[in-house]
Amino acid sequence: MQTRIPCVLMRGGTSRGPYFLASDLPADEAQRDAVLLAAMGSPHPLQIDGIGGTSSLSSKVAIVSPSSEPGVDVEYLFAQVSITDATVDTRPNCGNMLAGVGPFAIEAGLVKPTGEATQVTIRNRNTGALIDAVVLTPGGEVTYDGDASIPGVPGTAAPIQIRFRDVAGSKTGALFPTGKRQEEIQGVPVTLIDGAMPMMIVEAAQLGADAEAAPEAIEGDAALMARIEAMRLEAGQRMGLGDVRGSVIPKPALVGPGRDGAGIAARYLTPHAVHRAMAVTGGITLAIAARMTGTVAQPLCRDEGQVVHIAHPAGLLDIALEIENDAVVWAGVLRTARRIFEGNLLVPSAIWAGRGAAETPALAAE
């Protein structure tokens, strides 16, 4: 016996994972997490018994529900499912998976199309952030075809405009949770910042590293990775996040001066591997740091104007910002998404031990 759960597999930005309606998952968080681990095939390095893709970029889950909040269409909970450990982290947000939330919500009937383009207002439950996503809906239907391209994704697709509001203090309540724009950890200058994502920003050269190095080169330097992790653990304590050994936040970023059209170069860690592109939330936070005087990133950034161009392993990520009186009004980015598969995910019945059918009316046993 297995349990069928309605599921849509989508690419959101440079990430991929299953999208669920919250009503189709257990309300109990522990059992929900057990279901997500089974769905992805974790813990196992190949995720051989699930639909995970053996990368942190493809071991992600989006959970969507209608919102009762005035002016908000849907709520979105992001879950980062560990590949090798039996853990599910819902503390961070993911701006790439967010790109698929608008199309998913429209096609799930949670939001009614409003014309050639439909704005979906999303409350992120992980951080409390409010996001507007504009999805193309010609003829009242979501289209995934278009001419927009983003680094790290082959081909082109319909553009999805995402604008984050109230991005400062996503988890700690303050843009600079320690009250400092620059401080030292182990003798190295860092900026501890909480924009759309809590981060520790370090100039790569201060660690003898290169902000334009291949991800494999950084990951292959065991001493460097160990030093970054030790600094990250201290950063977590200083930012009020406590012991972050079991958490993916704060995220470290190695930065350096940009060239060839880039304002700043960066390598973003997730945190125990290097992102093959750039997380949207990480890019937004880095762009904010690049625009704030006194940070590690600001003197390295060569951009002028409203847009910060961030060089990453797959190309450039452009972040548009509006900052007034040292406060972030909004941050915007263009993403794309694609609906890949829809159907039922089958979860082993052992996951549901102790729960009767009456307690899970939305879940039908096979």
- DSSP H stretches of helix in the chain: 29-40, 95-98, 101-107, 215-219, 222-238, 280-291
pLDDT in tens, 7-51: 999 999 999 999 999 999 999 999 999 999 999 999 999 999 999
Q: Which two tokens stand for residue 330?
A: 């909004």
Confidence of residue 353 (pLDDT cuts 50, 70, 90): low
Q: What percent of the chain stands above pLDDT 90?
A: 84
- At 127 the pLDDT is 85
- At 167 the pLDDT is 84
Single-letter amino acid, residue 168: A
**Range 120-144 average pLDDT:** 95
Q: Which two tokens stand for residue 346?
A: 């089958």
- At 352 the pLDDT is 67
pLDDT in tens, 245-295: 989 999 999 999 999 889 999 999 999 999 999 999 999 999 999 999 999
Does residue 136 come out as left (phi exceeding 0), alpha (psi in the -120 to 50 range) or beta?
Answer: beta
pLDDT in tens, 292-311: 999 999 999 999 888 999 99
- At 343 the pLDDT is 97
Instruction: Give CA angle at 280 (279, 281), nearest 5°.
Output: 95
Question: Picking from 64-73, 120-129, 213-222, which range would have the lowest pLDDT averaged per residue?
Answer: 120-129
- Distance, in Å, from the CA atom of 240 to the CA atom of 250, rounded to the nearest integer, reads 11
